[in-house]
Amino acid sequence: MTLESKAKSVVAQFDYTDDQVNKAVKEFLRQMDEGLQKDGTSLSQIPTYVTGVPNGTEKGLYMAVDLGGTNFRVCSIQLNGDTTFNLTFSKVAIPKDLMVAKTAQELFAFLAKQIELFLKEHHEEHFEQHVRRRMTISSPDGFRDEHVFRLGFTFSFPVQQIGINKGTLIRWTKGFDIPDAIGKDVCALLQDEIDKLHLPVKVAALVNDTVGTLMARSYSSPGKTSTILGAIFGTGTNGAYVEKLANLKKPLTGEYDKSTGEMVINTEWGSFDNQLNVLPNTPWDVALDKASVNPGIQMYEKRVSGMFLGEILRLVIIDLLKNKDVAFFKDENSSSNDWKSTTNIVADSSIYTQWGLDTAIMSVAAADSTPELSTLRGELENQLGIHAAGLDDAQAFKAIAYAIGRRAARLSAVAIAAIVLQSGKLTDPEIKDEPIDIGVDGSLVEHYPYFRDMIYEALAIIDGIGPEGAKRIRIGIAKDGSGVGAALIALVAAGME
């Protein structure tokens, strides 16, 4: 079989047809509703106790940290009250060994240390002032309350939220696995480590990154309509949206403001359709799931988000390399029986190990429209040690990567469409012709070429949306979404103290 025809047959397996998309939207709506009725369903539909979205007039200086997946971000945000803000920012990669540390304390001590470093670097005066004050005041935490930073803690894993700054971890996702942390209040874990370092910081709000994205986009989005959905397409994927309280049937334990008639719901859509009623399931999806830390869970996320797309592609490539009948990245001069030795890939290439292919190279593939695919071939060499990839090799790589990316975008459209339909905004006569605003964040939607275009293409074929409806949906990047959003929720929380 030629490489071209083999690649075509692989590509076909990643096809997700218009019919399948429409069926999936109906199933998404059904699972959303189920999650609003009771606990323990596929879509967790977690109430956040946030009952309104900002309008851009909010003001003040706040801190925010974000534990999202690949990186830990620390920032301070000055909200100017005119839909603009100033943000100071630092970012550090989470050491892999801490993602699977023995105790939660090890991870949270690292996070508190990063907060200390940030304060020393960017708020030295503020920090020094408090250090001095501590020496002169006998109370153990001798900081003046007005000088204590209110911090929004964006923690993008499923938590059972009990209050605005209290929530227990339900399960880890995205490669984290510290069993000791399950069931513990993550705000208390962080506050304890902050207190050990005597920092003038109070963890005021626990924020899911999707809620932060929604808040940030609503603060800064143009026009008078507020944002209905915040969605992340980064290491993982998830969305939070504004739901009518009347539709939320499961009991709420915490206090909240009932006057708005709405509450932000964190869908935890990464686990949409864990039963695989409507999700596609190629042999490579099966293999990826089997080798993951959480088989059978986060099945939607495993087909959509940055952490997994590269791994799906890697598994396809390994299969093709092992296939004696297909000449893929082959070393023409080798007559070895060992499949690895017949390739022109260096023996220690990361392509041979789990997670060894970063989704970012799929963006390189999609962006390279040179006739010789020279940029892509250069990256294959640099990142994966694939020497002298032929044009046909690079074309097959590009075609398969594109098919995986396109399927992910069409699956993303399923979630977005379901929430647009659930909101009823398309048929609301009061906002006729107004845009329906959606805030998004994450490397995939920001950097993967045509990802948004592919989402729009799918939205236009969805029943109840169509080409006209798709035009009204405005998908905009929520710039620095999690930081600003966390600050906005810390502001709301500070008002409730």
CB of 308 to ligand ADP, least distance (A): 8
DSSP letter assigned to residue 147: G
How distant is the alpha carbon of residue 126 from its chain centre?
33
Give the nearer residue to ligand ADP in terms of CB position, either 71 or 341: 71
Instruction: Please say which residue, 55 or 370, places its beta carbon nearer to ligand ADP.
Output: 370
Residues that bind ligand ADP (CB under 6 A): 68-71, 234-235, 306-307, 310, 358-360, 362-363, 442-444, 447-448
Return the number of the residue (421 or 486) whose C-beta is nearest ligand ADP. 486
Annotated catalytic residue 5: no
Question: Can you tell me the distance from the alpha carbon of 371 to that of 424, in angstroms, rounded to the nearest whole number?
Answer: 46
- Catalytic residue status for 156: yes
Q: Taking a C-beta distance cutoff of 8 angstroms, is the pair 478, 229 a contact?
A: no
Torsion angle (degrees, nearest 10) of CA 173, 178, 182, 187? -90
Residues paired with residue 76 on neighbouring β-strands, in sequence order: 63, 88
CB of 451 to ligand ADP, least distance (A): 8
Contact 470, 215 (CB under 8 A): no
Exposed/middle/buried for residue 410 (C-beta within 10 Å: 0-12, 13-18, 19+) = buried
Active site residue 39: no
Q: How far is the CB of 144 from ligand ADP (least distance, A)?
A: 34
Q: How far apart are CA 469 and CA 27, in angstroms?
A: 20
The least CB distance from residue 301 to ligand ADP, in Å, is 11
Of 71 and 86, the one with the shorter C-beta distance to ligand ADP is 71
Amino acid at 335: S
Residue with Cβ nearer ligand ADP (115 or 465): 115
Encoded tokens for 281: 């399931």
Q: Which residues contact 401 (CB under 8 A, 6 or more apart)?
A: 313, 361, 362, 365, 366
Distance between CA 189 and CA 202 in Å, rounded? 12
Give the shortest CB-404-to-ligand ADP separation in angstroms.
Answer: 11
* Residue from 66, 185, 209, 285 carrying the catalytic annotation: 209
Q: Are 216 and 195 in contact (CB under 8 A)?
A: no
Dist CA 101 CA 189 (whole Å): 14
Work out how close the CB of 356 gets to ligand ADP at its nearest, in angstroms, rounded to a whole number: 12
Which residue is catalytic, options 42, 44, 76, 156?
Answer: 156
Angle between the 374-384 and 360-367 helix axes, to the nearest 10 degrees? 160
Find out whether 265 and 241 touch, Cβ atoms under 8 Å. yes
> Is the CB of 166 or the CB of 447 nearer to ligand ADP?
447
Structure tokens at 189: 């874990």
* Shortest Cβ 363–ligand ADP spacing (Å): 3
8-state DSSP, 307: H
Q: Which is nearer to ligand ADP, 131 or 360 (CB)?
A: 360
Catalytic residue chosen out of the listed positions 171, 177, 195, 349: 171
List the helix and strand counts (H, then E) for the chain: 17, 13
**Active site residue ranges:** 156, 171, 209
